[in-house]
Amino acid sequence: MRWEHPGGFVADDDAARIDLDVVHGFISTSYWAAGIPRDVMAKAIANSLNIGVYAAAGAQVAYARAATDRATFAWIADVFVLESHRGHGLGRFVVSTLLEHPDLQGLRRTLLATADAHGLYRSYGFEDLADPSRFLVVQQTPAVLYGAS
């Protein structure tokens, strides 16, 4: 599916269109997945519902994905807008497009984690976990997994 942004940008859910160099280049330097290997990022893309945002000339400028069963659950991850394209509303565009995707409607639970965009996500109805004691995690740091520092 394709969605149009008033500024001439286009969002697309075609995973084949994702520019792995752009996505890996950003994510591998992020606070949440520093050092992620290219093949791991490629596998994450292949197994997710992806939204890429593209400038009029076709270059990818933003990205978001959902790890989901498309029936009951989704985890929103790896949301970014390249620094060179911030200030055009593309953060809202990529998040809105992903959350409005037909495959993510009627889910029982949609989760995400963020260090710095709570206000953005709260505007879409995300809120603190009602009972965090019900949630458990097995977590490894990127440094352990990928050798990043």
Q: What are the tens digits of pLDDT across the range 85-137?
A: 999 999 999 999 999 999 999 999 999 999 999 999 999 999 999 999 999 99
SS3 label, residue 77? strand
Q: What is the pLDDT of residue 59?
A: 97
What gap in Å lies between CA 55 and CA 86, rounded to an integer? 12
Q: How many CB atoms lie within 10 A of CB 139?
A: 7
CA angle 39, 141, 110 (to 5 degrees): 80
Closest among 122, 99, 91 to 7, alpha carbons compared: 91
- In this predicted structure, the answer to whether residue 148 has a pLDDT above a threshold of 60 is no
